[in-house]
Amino acid sequence: MKDHPLPDGENPGEFASIGSANMDMRSFRLNFEVNAFLYRNHSVKRLVEDFRQDISDSQQVMLNRYRQRKFHHRLYESVARLFSPLL
């Protein structure tokens, strides 16, 4: 997968946010979640490297192939969805 440019003025390795919070108002108000914001730190560089590795290891999911997945995969996903509020 090719590199995606960052928004203007942002340099890789300068800033990172890591944590459990989803970036929406419901999560901010209702859930007990936390994020750490890192700035110009060795950990930021490592996170950027790990993220880029995750991107290169990933595969694009095509909608038509996703819809054709096997029954036991769909069943497993449905059962897991039942327990998602507890995870």
Mapped onto helix, strand or coil, the DSSP state of residue 5 is coil
Query: Average pLDDT by consecutive 10-residue portion of the chain (87 residues)?
Result: 50 77 74 82 87 93 94 93 79
Q: Which residues lie closer than 8 Å to 34 by C-beta, 6 or more apart?
A: 19, 20, 21
pLDDT at 2: 47
So what's the pLDDT on residue 69? 93
Rg (alpha carbons) of the chain, rounded to whole number: 18
Give the per-residue pLDDT at 19: 85
pLDDT value, residue 86: 74
Q: What is the pLDDT of residue 25?
A: 74
| Complete DSSP assignment for 24-51 | SHHHHHHS---EEEEES-HHHHHHHHHH
Which pLDDT does position 1 carry in this prediction? 42
